[in-house]
Structure formats: C-alpha cells, structure tokens
Structure 1
Amino acid sequence: MINYTVRFPDDLYDRIRTQATADRRSIHAELLHLLEVGLSAVAPETPDRPGGDPATPAPLRGRSNSSPT
C-alpha cells in the first residue's frame, strides 16, 4: 500500500467529513470510495485518448487561465 499526503482546503475537508458521516464511513474510506467512483466514470477510450492510451494527455478542464488568484 502506498502512503500519500494530501492537503485539502478546509471547506472541501468539511464536505468530505460530512459525506463520510452520512455514509457511515471513515474519512479514509470515503476518500477511497469517491476516488473509485470518479475513476470508474472515466471512459478508458475517449476521442481525447484514442485507444485508451493513458500516456496520451487529456485536455485541461476549466478556464484557460485557471490558476488560483
């Protein structure tokens, strides 16, 4: 198992904690669940990734200037 440290904005952490409580999961289990659900929703083959090649970069999402200010 890999250990990975992640920092969350306070408001996002609160949302995760609230959802974990509602789902009767630990925050860790809730994060794993959300990652699994999110990753399963990504189609392995899309027009942006012909052949489902994970090395082919996907386009950036959001505004063209999405840097935090």
Structure 2
Amino acid sequence: MYAPCSADRLDGELLDVTGWVAAELIEGALLVTDRGLYGPGGRAFYAPAEGDPAGPFLWHGDTP
C-alpha cells in the first residue's frame, strides 16, 4: 500500500506503508531526504491527515 506525500518537501512522492502497523500509520514517520532544510541526511516529518491513516501524509517540518 502506498500513501501520497503532500505539502512541501516530498510533495507528490509515494510512501510505501506496506506492513506498517496501525500505530505507525497514525503517528507518521521521519523520512530521510536531501531536499529538506538540513540537506543530505536530514529528515522530513510526515504524518497522515487527521482521520485518514491511508493518506495523504502531510509535511510537519524538518529535523537534522
């Protein structure tokens, strides 16, 4: 199963959520990306839109 990323850094990318448990689908994920504020090796935090764990996953900020 794939969930689309939306808003900012990874807009339009598909996130492979195959095998994720319900808690992971609700909490979201830190995705390693070179397109974020911190460059290569930085992470962008994406979490699903409220009430829709199947996506889209929305951008919530970057972290080193």
Q: TM-score if structure 2 supplies the norm length?
A: 0.23
If asked which structure has higher relative contact order (CA below 8 Å, sep 6+), I would say: 2
Q: TM-score if structure 1 supplies the norm length?
A: 0.22
Q: Which has a greater percent of helix?
A: 1
Q: Which has a greater percent of strand?
A: 2
